[in-house]
A and B are shown apart, each in its own frame.
Chain A
Amino acid sequence: KQEVTQIPAALSVPEGENLVLNCSFTDSAIYNLQWFRQDPGKGLTSLLLIQSSQREQTSGRLNASLDKSSGRSTLYIAASQPGDSATYLCAVSPPGSNYQLIWGAGTKLIIKP
């Protein structure tokens, strides 16, 4: 059974630092992996989606990598800003499913000015 883990549950860093958020999954057979951000009391915003055949995706200051063999994905945030403070969630889609997402519990990120 696929399980997704995000460690740490919370992270606080000074503004301007580069940082990495981690996502681990137990079954390397995935269709894709998606990173989201969620602000308090709001919906989820899709940040990046990596297909199983890809190694990384980039959007602005964000870079997500995927290593299926080790069951890991990382979200790299460059030059962090207070506006990056949010909860970041990763979710994997199993192969053969057009709907199912297996969710991590999220990492709550605080960027200190």
Chain B
Amino acid sequence: DVKVTQSSRYLVKRTGEKVFLECVQDMDHENMFWYRQDPGLGLRLIYFSYDVKMKEKGDIPEGYSVSREKKERFSLILESASTNQTSMYLCASSSQPRNEQFFGPGTRLTVL
């Protein structure tokens, strides 16, 4: 079974802090994704990566950056956390050509 893990289930940070969210997958998938999920807005893609060191902006990249130094690991970085970044963050991975996305358990981030 595909396993996608995220570093924290719950995280509380202060406004202005730098925040790192880590995601690891164990199925050698080339594609990895970061989404945020908010009530009434559904899932929105922040960034995705189709290979090591490669990244593409999704629908809402502002205020975020990403890093993919190894194939199995994809990090989401909030350079200076703000209260409007309080959300559920979901990581996913997939492989060509099937493109079935598998999700991690999510990180509930609260920015105070």
Residues of A within 8 A of B (CB): 31-32, 34, 36, 41-46, 49, 51, 89, 91, 93, 98-101, 103, 105-106
Task: Report the Cα distance A45→B100, complex, angstroms.
Answer: 11
Partner of A49 from the list B4, B92, B98, B108 (CB cut-off 8 Å) is B98
Q: Is the CB of B96 within 8 A of A44?
A: no
With known contacts A99-B50, A105-B42, A43–B105 Cβ distance under 8 A:
yes
**Chain B, 68-84, CB within 8 A of any chain A CB:** none
Beta-carbon nearest neighbor of B108 in chain A:
A41
Q: Is the CB of A43 within 8 A of B90?
A: yes
Contacts of A99 in B (CB 8 A): 31, 33, 45, 48, 50, 56, 94, 99
Q: How many B residues face the partner with a CB closer than 8 A? A: 25
Q: Does B101 contact A (CB under 8 A)?
A: yes
Q: List 9 A-B contacts (CB under 8 A).
A: A34-B100, A34-B101, A43-B103, A45-B103, A46-B100, A46-B101, A46-B102, A51-B98, A99-B31
With known contacts A31-B99, A34-B101, A103–B106 Cβ distance under 8 A:
no
Task: Report the Cα distance A102→B90, complex, angstroms.
Answer: 16
With known contacts A41-B108, A103-B43, A98–B96 Cβ distance under 8 A:
yes
Q: Is the CB of B96 within 8 A of A103?
A: no
Partner of B99 from the list A43, A45, A93 (CB cut-off 8 Å) is A93
Beta-carbon nearest neighbor of B97 in chain A:
A98
Task: Report the Cα distance A97→B49, complex, angstroms.
Answer: 13
Q: Is the CB of B105 within 8 A of A98?
A: no
With known contacts A98-B96, A101-B101, A42–B43 Cβ distance under 8 A:
no
Partner of B100 from the list A49, A89, A105 (CB cut-off 8 Å) is A49
Contacts of B4 in A (CB 8 A): 43
